[in-house]
Structure formats: C-alpha cells, structure tokens
A and B are shown apart, each in its own frame.
Chain A
Amino acid sequence: MALDGPKQDFKYIGTRPERPDGWDKVTGKARFGADFSMPGMLHGAILRSPHAHAKIIKIDATKALALKGVKAVVTRADFPEGLEGEDWNIQENVMAGEKALYDGHAVAAVAATSQLIARDALKLIEVEYEVLPHVTDVDKAMAEDAPVIREGAADYSVPEGMHPNVVRYMESGRGDLEKGFAEADLVIEESFTTEAAHQGYIEPHACVANLGADGKGDLWCCTQGHWFVRQMCTAVLGLEATQLRVTPSEIGGGFGGKTTVFIDPVALALSRKAGRPVKLVMSRSEVLRATGPTASASMDIKMGMTKEGKITAASGTFRMQGGAFPGAPVDVTTMLAFANYDIEHVHHVGYDVMTNRPKQAAYRAPGAPMGAFATESVLDELCRGLGLDPIETRLKNAVKEGTPATFGPKFPPVGLIETLEEARAHPNYSVKLGPNQGRGVASGYWMNWGGETSASVAIGDDGSVQVSIGTVDIGGSRASMALMAAEAFGIPYENVRVSIADTGSLGINEPTHGSRATFASGLAIIEASREATRKLCQRAADKWGIDADAVTWEDGCAKPSGPNAGEFDPLTIAEIAAEMGSTGGPISGHHESTPDGFGGSFGTHVVDVEVDPETGRTTILRYLVVQDAGKAIHPAYVEGQFQGGAVQGIGWTLNEEYIYGEDGRLQNPIFLDYRVPVASDLPMIDTVIVEVPNPGHPYGVRGVGETGITPPLPAIANAVRDAIGVRMKKLPLTPPRVLAAIKARD
C-alpha cells in the first residue's frame, strides 16, 4: 500500500492522557463477560472428564433432565457431523466425541433456571468411560510405546516411521553447519525444557448466547476477537456466518488465550435446544483445566563462537506438545530461535506432538519464549566460556536493516542494536552486585502482525468524531486510537469517542492479537480520518467556490492552501459539521485492508536477582526492559505492555507450571498452586522506549505487546546462573529445583 512515510512532528501522539475507559473500569461500571444478562436467561454448566484419556461408552442424561428447572442437555450428538481440519478440532475440543482426550475435556452440558440447579444436574448425568493409557509429557509422547492420541492426525510433513503423536515436522536453515562449528573456538551443546504456562488472565471466559431454531442468533462474550468467535461458532454449529452477531464485552485480559472458543458454541447449542438465552461462565479451575495454556517444550541447542565473540553456527531441535490436537507453535519457535543474530550457518528442526492435555492456545508471542530460553542460555554460556560481555557480544552479532534473517528474508529497519546500546548505558547495568546476587541479559524478537482490518470514523453534528473499530481494547487501545484520530483531524483527544463495533457493524477484523491493534486499527483510523478530512475540505471548497485541491486540512480546520486559492477565513470542523446535512449529507471515512507493513520489535532485558542459598528462592531485585516501539502513541501504555510482558515472563520462569500427576490429572487447577507472581514479588519494572520508526505505518508504529515476554525466561535464568554458578536447564526455577542444584554444586 502506498503510504506517505512516517510522520515526524506530532501534537497529540506521544502524550499521556487518561484512557477513556479508565473510570468505568476502576469504579466497576464497565461490563465484562459475566456482567451481561437477558430476560428469561438460563444458566449453563459443563460436565468434564475426570480422565486424561478415556473412551466414552455411554452418556445417560435421563435423571438430569428429570430434575425440576433443567431445560436442556447437550452432548456431541447435538453438533453437526462432517467437519474437517481446524473446524473439527475446535468442535472436538469444545465437546468430546468418541473419546475424552484430557482431564477437563467437556463431555456434556446442561442449561437450567439457576446455576445451582445446573450444577446439581451435572451430578445426575451418568457417563460410562473405558479408561485408556495416557501420556502428558512431550518426550514420552514421541517414544515408541506411547499411547496413540489419534491415528491419522499427522499431516504430510511428518516423515514415515515417526510415532503417530508427531503430527507436524519442520526443518529449515542455511549454510554448512559442520564448517561453521569448525570455525568456532568454543562450541556448546545443551538440552532444555520448559513447562506449559497459562495466560493467567484475571477474567474467566463468559458468554450469553441466544440462538433460534431458524439459525439466527446473538452472542455476547469476553473475547479478543469477535469475528474469530463468529467464524468458529458458526462452523462448529453449521450456521451461516452473518446470521450470528457477536458483541464483545470489556475484557479482563486475554494474552492470546481469548482468540479461540471454549464455551461459546456450547452455550449456543444449549440455547438452540432450550429455546432461551443461556449464560455460561467458567470457574478458575475450568479455565486452568480446559482452556488453552501454551505448549511445553523440550529442546537441544548447539552454538559455536569465535574467541572474538562472533557466532559461527547454530542448530536447534525443538519438540513441543500442544495438547490433544495439532497446533503447538513450534513453527514460530524454530523461526525465531536464532532470529536476533546474523548467523551464516544455521539449522532448525521442529516437532509438533500431541499429548493428553488441553488444546493449547496462543500465549503472548506464542512459541518464542521457549526457544529464546534455550538459545539465549547457550549464548550466555558461550560468553562466560570466552570471557565476553553479554551485551558487547550481542552487539557484535545483532541483526540490522539488510541482514538476512535466520528465517529467510532480509530485515527492514529494526531496533535491536539501539535496545542493546540503551541497555548498556542504563544505570541498572552498572549497579554493583552483592553476595548471592547475579545479573542476566537476554534479547528477544516478535515479528508482529497486520491482519484483516476494517474501521470507520464519522463526524458528529458538533464536529466531534466517532471512531468505530473491530479490535477489542485490552491494553489501552481506545486511548491510542483516539490519539491517532485526534492527530489526523487536528482536534483535541477529548473530542474523539472510540467504540468497539460488533460483527454486524464492520467488515471482518482479526482479533487484538499478534501485537496488531495499535498498528493495524491505528493505520485504518488514520486512513479513514484522512478520507473524512478530504470530504471536509470538499465541503469548504464548495462553500468558497474554489477547487478542492486548493483546500488543505490543518489543526482541525479547512484552509485555503495558499494565497492563490483566495482569501477565506478557515472553516472549523464544527462549522462544517453543523451544516453537513444541507451540504451533502453525513461525513464519514472508512478504511479496510490487510496491511503487511507491520514492523517487528526487538527488546533487550537486564535483570538482577538474589538467590537464597539455603532455600533456593529467587528474588527479582531489579528489572529493565528496553524495547523498540517504532513510535509510542501513548507512552504509558507502551510501558505497561513492556512491564506486563516482563511480569508474565517472571512468573513462567520462577513458579508457573502445569503439574500433571501419574493419573494424568492436573494437580494445580487453582491460583493457589498455579503461582502467578503477586505484586509484592516484583520490583518496579524499569522501562526505556526505543523509537526506530516503522516505515509501514503512517506514524511509524510497531506492535509492542508480545516481544516483552520473549527475553525474560533466559534473562532470569542467566541471572540465576550468575548468582549460583549453575546453569538451570529446566523451567520453572522453583526453589526445590534451585536448592537441589546448589547442593549438587557444593
């Protein structure tokens, strides 16, 4: 798409106004998923498998249906047959068919006049299972004797002779590894594992569904992307896409986990059967057992380096499980594992493996943190082995504009070098460390995304501006959108109102995912605003009786473009808007596209830790995030994204993990034992925003949401290595594991 090139001087962009949705959210007025209700609404509840792997012999709901207040029971028999590919996967995941594939897999659902009755009814549904052998570990799932989750799930990429649980295989690279490793002065080869982590959004999934027997329906739900919800629900239920209107609620966190559906098709199926609206709200334990945590990984990394610090070759094998379905993000892991560096000889192998665990979903930079943990740990060991500074060494190998990426294309302008230089110059990098303390450095990358986007602006009769977007506001994007519209129109931020439109009001929008909302919806709003200002100029030109070409838009006014255009007083947006009904009708602007100029974002993190040598407990003392935002539209929310990524990374590194027992059941399906960091665990996360403008956005924006979770895993592991003198290769770094490592060292 032809763009004017990044703008440089701004009036509103880069300021920090209050977010438009802030007051409602802190006073409890904002309506989240579970806050919606309808007259005559029923309450749903879902019966879930207690077994990791079991054949469903029989489901008898007779007693449940006999309970007073129960209006409908659905099982897989209430969903259409014959689906294929990911549509079938989603259908199979939201309601088990022949087999329950993991602990927590939905097998039946009830709608009743109260939630208590619905829950009591679940206890009356009799399910006969034939328990099957299960496997929850990625390496064990690939072993010869592993139970088969599903025959025939593998795609064309898997070479013959592999276990049926291996469902995708990938290999990529360039150069000559043998030659590269021969050029190295030090070669290090290590294996690493990471556990599955959950996004840990505070708001559980919730929805209200109203679907008629005629196939027309409405759905109100908590989601990152309501067009995705529409596509998935209509596919799973056999409906026509536009007959289902989906309206998103406010969202209490998603981090990728709300880009798919778990309960929405079930609520719709219950509603269709009961003939009444049905509300479904997940409990926390349902969220942990049966939504989509990220994949767990097992990885082998080999890297070589000269004594001057040049990486000569790198290879990695990445095995990841994403639950009982294909889809572990190992393609991204392999793509980004070595993406920070200019490496001539590089090779990646990836395996997507099925296990008896819930179907993984996207989690902030899906696939990238695990690979970064392994590769940035080995890089740290190479620096230690050769006595090199970790930032200087990264600078020596860092990619820049024109570098051929390890995954193929040449990089456009990127900011890795700038983040490393800012990190080196930051006071945190030179704080003197005490006993049992250590410092770690790591860099990370996320390529970002554009995605299908449709947005509109409309001028109000007083000259204020209504913006309609299709990307839900997770991290303050209403404020960013209002700033971009204010900048484009030259009107105050407060005169812009941003609404999230439902699926009936705009063309298809991909979710707020891939760090794309501020980039793509922002781009669309700027372009739509420009279309509207051209129309405003036309109205002024008509009034003045001159050519539209002779009118420019500046500071919220139409003005003659120069002395030759004539002498006219500027017309404000309010003046033009007041007359628009009689000068040609309403004025609006619209833009739709799938923009491909998304620029990737690099980040560098520096973390200081202290490890209690007697208990193995790690305390984060100091944490610095330096990241390229291209252009920070609202710097406070950019910093918030940096901090949030770091905090989720801290959790994943130190304590968060899915723990499965020998019985294949999740042992820690509550926040007590699934340990996300609490506020008192954390120091203030220091941030530095680097701005290397993205030429693919009118204002230079790069997405910033995801990069921030890529460096923390290795940065913290490197700091712990510095503190205790032992390389930890298994995440999370729980106190028992760290203490055992310290004891083994001594």
Chain B
Amino acid sequence: MQYHTPPSFEEASRIAASASGTTRFLAGGTDVLVQLRSDLVTPDDLIDVKHIPGVKEIARQEDGGWRIGVAVAGAEMTEHPDLGRDWPGIVEGMDLIGSTQIQGRATLVGNLCNGSPAADGVPALVAAGASVTVTGPNGARDVAVADIPTGPGKTCLEKGEVISALNIPARGENGGDAYLRFIPRTEMDIAVVGCAVNLRVDGDTITEARVVLGAVAPTIRAVQACADALIGTTLDDAALEALDKAARAACEPIDDKRGTVEFRTDVAGVLARRAAKIAYARAKGEQS
C-alpha cells in the first residue's frame, strides 16, 4: 500500500488518476480505516487529503453561504458559533454520527462519499440545496450533493476525481431546517429511517420546502410530493397527513436486520411529520 500526503487537490487528483489499483481518499478515516482493518477494502493507494491547505476551515462566503473544508470534523461543525444558527438541521445530522471520539475525526464529505443511503449527514445537505466542488483531471466542477450518490456504496465521481469543498447556500430570511433519524437506541447506531426538512415561510404560510428521506431507497431521496404537500399550507393537520402519505409513498426500502419494509415505510411518514414541525418552528423563529 502506498500512502500519499499531497499538498493540493490537483496533486491528489493526479495521484488518483494515475493509480492502477484500488484507491481511497483519507480524511477522518472513520469509514476507510474501519474497512481497511476488517479486510473489506485494502487500498493500493491511500491518499490523505488532510495536509492540503484550507481543508479544516469553515468559512462564511460573501453571499452569506458557507464553504466547509473536506477535513472539518463533526465536532468542529457542532461547536461553530454561527453555522448551526443558519443550518441547525445540517449540523444536527452530522452530530448524530458516532461517539464523541468519532465526532473528533468524522467528516461530512466523507459521510457523503461513503455512499450509504443511511448517511445521517447527507439528507439535510440535499434539503439545503448544497453542492460540492469536485477537482479532477479536467479541472474543477460543481455538483449538487443530491447527484453524488448513485447507489449503496457508489458515487458519480470518476477516476481521479476528488471532492475539494462543500458549499452550502445562504440561509436567507425566514428559513428553518431539521433532521431526524430513527434508531432503536439513543445513539451509536445507523439510521433505520432518516428525514430532513428545509422550509421557508411567509408569516405562517410555507413558501418553499424540500423533504429528503434516507435509508428507504438505494440512495437518499428528495421527495417532491412531500414538498408539494407542505407548500402553501400552515402545516395544519391536513398538510401533515398529506406529507405523511407522500413520504410513505416514496419509500422503496429493503427488509433487513435493521428494519422491515413495513416498519421503514411507517416510520418515514412519522419522521417527516415530526421533522417538518421542528423546521417550521425554526423558520418562524420559535425554536432554535
């Protein structure tokens, strides 16, 4: 195994592009090192991106958006004084991953690149309309977070491509987001169902909405019918019921040791309602 510490994403991309065997990028390592130790993946080239300048920075952009470095750990997001005020749903999604020790290492971009449909960090990013900058052999391009995962453990990234930054849009006025997941315990678990909701209100009326479900399909899934159930409503009982129904209809889960099809489908509706209530209260400034 070759271990690399490139000084730039361009160099990281060049190493990956010229590698002939299995390649893994290493940031927090909370997925890669575990896979390595349990013999699931033995990379020929392990490319550590932590030494690239700027990868540990959380920076507010001129337009009010955020640029998050690929090696920023979950704990650094949670403890940031302003990020969580803008995007509490994104921060709480990331914060749910692993223990305190894992939070000191795990990264949001790593969570995205792991390609799990149950990734806790990703639904709220998709609901927020976040994008990533991808550096590859042909230069850099921006890709919507929603388009990165293509199936369990798979992403759209081509050989030699590496995510070099995460871009979260400006929060704007009267917005709120939330993420909830269901696990049998209170922590240290993988989502059986996850749901992120991002809303904007005008007074009591919802004017914009995105609802994203996790762990109920091969990829994290933004559900337009759920958004439609909310837009134009004051989140009354009828809207919640329509949301519940739309969320359930969007589910194509698997039956496995973590949950049955029926259970995942039921709980998707429940979480959509509960997350929508929190996001709504946040959008109206009634809850932090």
Binding site for B on A (CB under 8 A): 119, 283, 285, 614-617, 654-655, 659, 667-668, 672-673, 675, 677-678, 680-681, 734-736, 739-740, 743
A673 touches B263 (CB 8 A): no
A615 touches B185 (CB 8 A): no
Q: How far is the CA of A740 from the CA of B182 in the complex (A)?
A: 16
Query: Which residues between 125 and 165 of chain B lie within 8 Å of chain A, taking CB atoms?
Result: none
Q: With both chains docked as a complex, state the minimum distance between the C-beta of A436 and any C-beta of chain B, in angstroms.
A: 14
B80 an interface residue at 8 Å Cβ cutoff? no
If A668-B257, A735-B263, A736-B260 touch, does A119 touch B186 (CB 8 Å cutoff)?
Answer: no
B270 an interface residue at 8 Å Cβ cutoff? yes
B262 an interface residue at 8 Å Cβ cutoff? yes
B6 an interface residue at 8 Å Cβ cutoff? no
A673 contacts across to B, CB distance below 8 A? 257-258
Partner pick for A119 among B39, B188, B258, B267, CB 8 A cutoff = B39
Q: How far is the CA of A15 from the CA of B263 in the complex (A)?
A: 51
Q: How far is the CA of A677 from the CA of B184 in the complex (A)?
A: 10
Chain B: interface residue total (CB-CB under 8 A): 21
Chain A, residue nearest B190 (CB): A672
Q: How far is the CA of A285 from the CA of B40 in the complex (A)?
A: 13
B189 contacts across to A, CB distance below 8 A? 672, 675
B57 an interface residue at 8 Å Cβ cutoff? no
If A615-B267, A736-B263 touch, does A678 touch B257 (CB 8 Å cutoff)?
Answer: no
- Among A615, A672, A681, the one with the most B-chain Cβ atoms within 10 Å of its Cβ is A615
The dominant DSSP class at the A interface is loop
The dominant DSSP class at the B interface is loop
Q: How far is the CA of A734 from the CA of B257 in the complex (A)?
A: 11
Q: With both chains docked as a complex, state the minimum distance between the C-beta of A681 and any C-beta of chain B, in angstroms.
A: 5
A736 touches B270 (CB 8 A): no
- 21 pairs, CB–CB < 8 Å, chain A vs chain B: A614-B267, A614-B270, A615-B270, A654-B184, A667-B256, A667-B257, A672-B189, A675-B185, A675-B189, A677-B185, A678-B187, A678-B188, A680-B185, A680-B187, A734-B184, A735-B182, A735-B184, A735-B259, A736-B259, A736-B260, A740-B262
Q: With both chains docked as a complex, state the minimum distance between the C-beta of A101 and any C-beta of chain B, in angstroms.
A: 23
- Among B38, B185, B189, B256, the one with the most A-chain Cβ atoms within 10 Å of its Cβ is B185
B31 an interface residue at 8 Å Cβ cutoff? no
Chain A, residue nearest B192 (CB): A735
B263 contacts across to A, CB distance below 8 A? 616, 735-736, 739-740
B186 touches A680 (CB 8 A): yes
B258 contacts across to A, CB distance below 8 A? 673
The list of the 10 closest CB pairs from A to B, nearest first, reads A736-B263, A680-B186, A614-B270, A667-B257, A659-B257, A681-B186, A655-B184, A736-B260, A678-B188, A681-B185
B270 contacts across to A, CB distance below 8 A? 614-615
A655 contacts across to B, CB distance below 8 A? 184-185
B266 an interface residue at 8 Å Cβ cutoff? yes
A740 contacts across to B, CB distance below 8 A? 262-263
Q: How far is the CA of A743 from the CA of B185 in the complex (A)?
A: 21
Query: Which residues between 244 and 284 of chain B lie within 8 Å of chain A, taking CB atoms?
Result: 256-260, 262-263, 266-267, 270
**What does the 1/0 interface line of B20-60 toward A look like (CB < 8 Å)?**
00000000000000000011000000000000000000000
- Among B184, B187, B188, B192, the one with the most A-chain Cβ atoms within 10 Å of its Cβ is B184
B259 contacts across to A, CB distance below 8 A? 735-736
Partner pick for A675 among B39, B184, B256, CB 8 A cutoff = B184
Partner pick for A739 among B38, B188, B266, CB 8 A cutoff = B266
A285 contacts across to B, CB distance below 8 A? 38
Q: How far is the CA of A739 from the CA of B267 in the complex (A)?
A: 10
Q: How far is the CA of A735 from the CA of B271 in the complex (A)?
A: 14
Q: With both chains docked as a complex, state the minimum distance between the C-beta of B3 and any C-beta of chain A, in angstroms.
A: 15
Given contacts A615-B182, A677-B185, A736-B260, 17 further A-B contacts (CB under 8 A): A614-B266, A617-B182, A655-B184, A655-B185, A659-B257, A667-B257, A672-B188, A672-B190, A673-B258, A678-B185, A678-B188, A680-B186, A680-B187, A735-B263, A736-B262, A739-B267, A740-B263
